[in-house]
Amino acid sequence: MENIIEVAGLRKRFGRTVALDGLDLAVRSGEVHGFLGPNGSGKSTTLRVLLGLLRADGGEAVLLGGDPWRDAVALHRRLAYVPGDVTLWPSLSGGETIDLLGRLRGGLDAARRDELMARFELDPKKKGRAYSKGNRQKVALIAAFASDADLLLLDEPTSGLDPLMEEVFRRCVAEERDRGRSVLLSSHILAEVEALCDRVTIIRRGKTAESGTLTELRHLTRTSVEAELAMAPPPGTLEALPGIAALEVRDRQVRCEVDTDHLATLISALSVCGVAALTSRPPTLEELFLRHYQDDLASAGAAR
């Protein structure tokens, strides 16, 4: 599959602050790609480089086969962007803003716009200055979803939406994928990414920490296992297994974490003792995420 976004070794500094420090990112055509990272890790900077709003200091970025800086206008006809902090024109109504942004992008589907306005329960007659944060976000989202862009760049688009509207948003993203569009979804809401994304890139301090499908990423981390055995395991056997951690053996109760690659070894070792009950839980995205940032948290704790 061809990559719709291809970023390699991207660098960007603002004065002395390093915002991007060799970032890699590949978004395949037709996928919903999660772009995860804590505040200030460089997600928005990456998107703004991809939009040609910022000029990269180094590295390569290819967007829809073009150069995001040089070919900005031509590329923008094929993408729609929702900023993280939506500011509207104070004297324009929401409906006017949606139509304007659509027309500037080269057209929008009026029927789809009306349908989206109904689904997001947006009152299009309110003036830009009167909308709440969530409603401003809806205006930008409707303008993006109603466009016929190939690529949607969404920067933390649900931070102001209520849970009901977030559900509507998720359905819209799923529909977009079904229609063959690609989505780059920057977020720090893990449940959202887990529910929507085919592949994920985790960014940390301006660098790619991890990238792949959720299944692939899960392989890189540990599964928690809880088992009740028919007989207590002989001491020392479980400890000797490869990739095992946080082992707790209390008589016939076993609780541990195991590298997902070594799960099979653990199961066979347990079955020797006769398994009465077994629960195995794959790592959540939270755990994945936390694992990458544990160092940051630990050093922050140490610094304190």
Partner 1 sequence: MSATAFAGVPDLTKLITRRERIRLPIWCYAILASVGGTAYSFKTLYATPESRRQFADGIGRNPALAVLYGKPFDLTTIGGLTMWRMGVFGAALLAVMSIITVNRHTRAEEEAGRFELVGAGAVGRHAPLIAVLRLVLGTQFALGVIIGVVLVALGEPVSGSFLLGLSIAAGGWVFAGVAAVTVQLTDFGRSAAGLAFAVLGAAYLVRAIGDGSGADGPTWLTWLSPLGWSEQTQPYAGDRWWVLALLVLGTAALIAVAFRIAAGRDLGSGVFPARPGPAGGGRLLGSVSALSFRMQRGNLLGWATGLLIGGAVLGSIADSIGELLGSSARVQQLFERMGGQSGIENAYLASAMNIIGLVAACYAVQTTARLRTEETSGRLEPLLSTATGRLRWAASHLAYPLLGSALLLVIAGAGAGFAHGGRSGSLGTQLAQLIGAGLIQVTAVWVVVGLTVLAFGFAPAATAFVGWSAVGFCILLQELGPILKLSHWITDISPFSQVPRAPGVPVSAEPLLLMTALGGALLVAGLIGFRRRDIG
- Contact set with partner 1 (CB under 8 A): 48, 51-55, 72-74, 76-77, 79-81, 83, 85-93, 95-101, 103-106, 124-127, 129-130, 140, 153
Which one, 70 or 281, has the nearer CB to partner 1?
70
Nearer to partner 1, 140 or 202 (CB): 140
The CA–CA distances, whole Å, from 274 to 190, 207, 252 equal: 37, 46, 10
* Minimum distance, C-beta of residue 111 to partner 1, in the bound complex (Å): 13
Q: Which is nearer to partner 1, 108 or 266 (CB)?
A: 108
- For partner 1, the closer of residues 34 and 128 by Cβ is 128
Give 39 or 91: the residue with its C-beta nearer to partner 1: 91
> Nearest distance from residue 153's CB to partner 1, in Å?
8
Query: Nearest distance from residue 96's CB to partner 1, in Å?
Result: 4
Residue linked to tokens 């994928």: 177
Query: Residue type at 137?
Result: Q
Where does residue 15 fall: left (phi above 0), alpha (psi -120 to 50 degrees), or beta otherwise?
left
Question: How are beta strands 32-36 and 199-204 bridged, if at all?
Answer: parallel
How far apart are the C-alpha atoms of 208 and 210, rounded to whole Å? Answer: 6
Least separation, in Å, of the C-beta of 25 and partner 1?
A: 18
Nearest distance from residue 158's CB to partner 1, in Å?
17
Q: How far is the CB of 127 from partner 1 (least distance, A)?
A: 5
Please state the closest distance from residue 191 (CB atom) to partner 1, in A: 27
Q: What angle (nearest 5°) sits at the alpha carbon of residue 232, between those of residues 229 and 237?
A: 105
Give CA separation, 80 vs 76, 104, 193, in Å. Answer: 7, 11, 19
Nearest to 58 by CA among 3, 8, 14, 17: 8
Nearer to partner 1 among residue 51 and residue 238 (C-beta): 51
Q: Which of 32/51 has CB closer to partner 1?
A: 51
Number of helices (H) and strands (E), helices first, in the chain? 10, 13
> Distance (Å, rounded) from C-alpha 53 to C-alpha 14?
14
**CA–CA gap between residue 157 and residue 119 (Å, rounded):** 16
In angstroms, give the least distance from the CB of 57 to partner 1: 10
Tokens, residue 132: 């709440």
Record the tokens describing residue 85, joined without a space: 């902090």
Q: Using CA atoms, how far apart are residues 304 and 300, in angstroms rounded to an integer?
A: 6
d(CA 172, CA 241): 46
Rank residues 126 and 188 by Cβ distance to partner 1 and give the closer one: 126
